[in-house]
Amino acid sequence: MTTMELLTWVRGPGMTIAIILMLFGVVVRLLEMLLLGRKKDLSVARDLASAKYGWRTVITRTLPSFSCFKSVPVIFLTGYIFHIGLLIIVIFYVPHIMFIRDLTGFEWPGFPFWFIDGITLLTMIAMLITLWYRVWDKVRRYLSRFSDYFVWAITFLPVLTGYLLYHRQFLPYNEMMIVHLATVQLLLISLPMTKLMHTFTIVFSRWYSGEAAGRKGVKV
């Protein structure tokens, strides 16, 4: 198979397979969560309007926490930087917008290339600092498992290969495009099977925790 044939497959059938597997996995995981149900509440609800606590928790757990910043400022900042950076890269990079448009028909204005380039570099630095702190800190290193490093790697590689692709570094353009798309597809397939599933469940889980706590009269 020539480079162009492989590139055509990766951009076409390969990407389609990866997206289908991701969607299937996400649907299965969400159904598993819904079918688990919830235990019957044996105590009297302290507040019948507990849903408001769910939404409040979604907001408060998303906004920066000053206490967390004081305890681990570096990890706090790098965590926000790389999460926001990844979001900007995925949603506001023009080639990504064009890809989404081809899939869904929706499009929106993107940021300038120089801005995305800077955000990409900042995101990679933040992720490397996060990895270094995980390895350096004894407690975090003890609690870390192979899955934690695997998730970090499959998230970092698409950013790195995209950066190298844009700057025409390391490999010829078409070959680097194949590598970049392959890492993206690995990330997509792994999403529902790893901790990255929180991408789809973070709002639900925070709402559920807040609602359950509010129902029991626990301050959240």
pLDDT at 182 over 90: yes
137 secondary structure, DSSP code:
S
b/e for 194-210, b at 16 or more Cβ within 10 A? Answer: bebbeebeeeeebbbbb
C-beta of residue 171 within 8 angstroms of C-beta of residue 179: yes
Amino acid found at 125: I
Between helices 146-166 and 173-190, what is the axis angle to 10°? 150
Supply the mean pLDDT for the chain. Answer: 82
pTM: 0.80
Instruction: Say how far apart CA 192 and CA 186 lie, in whole Å.
Output: 11
Q: What is the pLDDT of residues 61-108, one digit of tens each?
A: 666 666 665 666 777 788 888 889 999 999 999 989 988 888 888 889
Q: What pLDDT shows up at residue 156?
A: 95
From the centroid of its chain, how far is CA 26? Answer: 13
**Which residue did the predictor score with more confidence, 62 or 148?**
148
Q: Where are the domains of the chain?
A: 50-215
pLDDT band at 143 (very low <50, low <70, confident <90, very high): confident
C-beta of residue 157 within 8 angstroms of C-beta of residue 128: no
pLDDT band at 188 (very low <50, low <70, confident <90, very high): very high
Q: What pLDDT shows up at residue 153?
A: 93
Q: What pLDDT shows up at residue 117?
A: 93
Nearest alpha-carbon partner for 214 in 43, 44, 61, 54: 54
